[in-house]
Structure 1
């Protein structure tokens, strides 16, 4: 009898918990509609275009060789692949039936018009800090794009991650409105940059570590992370950058490339490309705020640029040095001007954070895919060596570069990482620049 009562009590508690969870996770569908003429006024659309570039919306919501904002791009996560949705105003497959209220709920709460919870690969955890006027401007921009009929791809997520109601529990645990810093000692540009970095541009989404459930670790904000298979450098004092980042350096880097630090690579590259249509004042504001982040967090071990002599009796270093001499030295040794209009004297590998990183992936990916400036623009150029260097040659070269240009020890499991990444063919038309 006692056991039966315990079982009934536990069953009832479970049932109540299930009902409570269902109630907490349920969100109503919102009535279909569309924008009013006032909501898509030309000045609103122009403002929204700038904001969309600062949030680099197209980089996630446009598939390779796809129509702008029509979705289909896969975002890799530790739990599987999530495919970006169509955010053109197509009424059947896009957001053409979204009212401003439905759009606002999606942006700030991560719930679509039908009431489904959205995966936090869509950074609503940052967009929750957007102002009403900025959400309205983004709505105006989105609803005036060319409608594209494009069905959303099914996410490649195993159970239980494919069960969306679980996201309600995730939100209860981790979803908090972002804290937009305010400092009376700082000017208006810095405060504008803080708003952009913490909300619209969601910098911490990539530059912060995540826990086992995919939530940003707020106590370690800007201490580094990863995105799309790339190591993402810290933006705080733990940065291994051999040269300090100042506001002017960051302004140049975020707009195109900086002569000493280099330019954007991997998932950061679309961000910089999106900035081409952004007013210079916005870039300077973002740089003003980010420059101050380097004074936060634990101190790093920056020692300045390094260029050390290598032991002549080490066969691996000798092989790496030979590859470097044949493939790299003509551009990366000082003494003149390099292809793409970049002087040798400013392209020293001793300046690169890539070689001081705790992870070799960025270097290997740049060696594999090469470097190219955007069309009709000056910038560094490097061939893709993914099909010309063997994994062993790439390993020897990476080990040589690390030993020569970094005071840190060798990368662990370098050969294994090289073989894993070089197994993939260079991406067609891959565009990268020397990583920050």
Structure 2
């Protein structure tokens, strides 16, 4: 009986808190407008908007696999269910064509849609709120100048009670701090520009930070690393602890090309980010790199890589598979290294990580062919090797190229990741 009363009391308190939050944050719907003509916007403003949208990676999240750009439909898998990205083309029925600039700005800064419903924080408005008025206006001009696409996103599939939006108001009270931030006078202009991009428009902490029990970035752990789409987003504050500490030049090159000497190539969710950053001015990426490198915690550096160490039976089996399928690109003295100047696996972030997650994902998924950019290509082996064989491969790679402790048996993780990947 007492337990029942406690449960009723807690439920009542939560519902009261949500009601108060909704009352505090409620804003009425904003009237629809006729879609503005693309030529009604200043040409320079639209060019600025292309830069803003690329820095914000908008097309990455708002484009489904094989879908039209910005037309939505991409599934975003969260611990609470699946959210489908919305259509942000200027289609007036299914996109944002009927949105005024004021409605667009409110969504970006406060997470409230034109018709007054609360947006889920999978849309990173907690970071976008720091954008300047000019950047918001520029993004609006650019998006309203895209081709309208009539596309309805699938219905979200979230657990109760998060399939109702009012609880988001309470979440916003806890974690949303709206409005731009002032520059830090103790740092130079490039550092401040980098902080604005990393903490705001680029929303890097959304992926590279662990989340708490209700899906917000864990306080005090910004940039400590996270999990995105089954991949590990490595900690951005430990780049000095890599087998080869990252330099400014290497980080800029990586962010602009998707690969860096002595570190490797981007894959998974990070790869399309680098393709967006390749389109923005170099000074933006240099500012991002400057700020990220200022976050370092002084992590201990890994021991210098050594040649092969004693291998377990699993790793010995993996060696046979490696020589059959991988050595021609990744083996010592392979043309990719001697001619293509690609780094040894000893410097790979995935190989030196605390878990085999990214090494497994690389083997399962590879890196898809991308036009003329063949240098970043890697075939996928999900249909070639079974779970046990992939686990053996990662055991061999870890033992042969990393000086860090062996990973535990990876076969259960391979099976889980394969299942999760097929569901996306």
| TM-score, normalised by the number of residues in structure 1 | 0.87
- Secondary structure at the aligned position of 2:160 is classed as coil
What does 1:232-247 correspond to in 2, within 5 Å? 232-237=233-238, 241-247=242-248
Cα distance change, pair 232–334 in 1 and its aligned pair in 2 (3 A): same
What does 1:402-421 correspond to in 2, within 5 Å? 402-421=398-417
- Secondary structure at the aligned position of 2:169 is classed as helix
- Give the stretch that moved more between structures: 30-39 or 223-232: 30-39
- Counterpart CA distance in 2 for 1:71 and 1:390 is 33
1:293-334 Cα distance to aligned partner (Å, 9 max, x none):
22x3xx43322442343326x432321222222222222233
- Give the stretch that moved more between structures: 384-393 or 133-142: 384-393
Count how many residue pairs are aligned between Structure 1 and Structure 2. 414
1:3-22 Cα distance to aligned partner (Å, 9 max, x none):
xxxxxx99999997675344
Query: Which of the residues 273, 284, 287 maps onto 2:286?
Result: 284
| TM-score, normalised by the number of residues in structure 2 | 0.89
Quick check: 1:387–1:425 contact (8 Å CA) kept in 2? no
What does 1:382-393 correspond to in 2, within 5 Å? 382-393=378-389
Instruction: Give the structure 2 partner of residue 24 of structure 1.
Output: 24
Q: Does 2:55 correspond to 1:54?
A: yes
Instruction: Give the structure 2 partner of residue 307 of structure 1.
Output: 306
- Give the stretch that moved more between structures: 39-48 or 21-30: 21-30
Give the superposed CA RMSD: 2.9
Quick check: 2:250–2:260 contact (8 Å CA) kept in 1? yes
Task: Measure how far apart 1:381 and its partner are.
Answer: 3.4
- Counterpart CA distance in 2 for 1:11 and 1:78 is 22
- Counterpart CA distance in 2 for 1:292 and 1:14 is 40
1:334-393 Cα distance to aligned partner (Å, 9 max, x none):
3252299623xx421100110111221111111112234521125143322212222222
- Secondary structure at the aligned position of 1:278 is classed as coil
Quick check: 2:327–2:334 contact (8 Å CA) kept in 1? no
Instruction: Give the structure 1 partner of residue 113 of structure 2.
Output: 112
Instruction: Give the structure 1 partner of residue 139 of structure 2.
Output: 138
Cα distance change, pair 269–181 in 1 and its aligned pair in 2 (3 A): farther
Cα distance change, pair 380–305 in 1 and its aligned pair in 2 (3 A): farther
- Counterpart CA distance in 1 for 2:111 and 2:196 is 19
- Counterpart CA distance in 1 for 2:285 and 2:393 is 36
Task: Measure how far apart 1:185 and its partner are.
Answer: 5.2
Cα distance change, pair 326–184 in 1 and its aligned pair in 2 (3 A): same
- Counterpart CA distance in 1 for 2:180 and 2:347 is 33
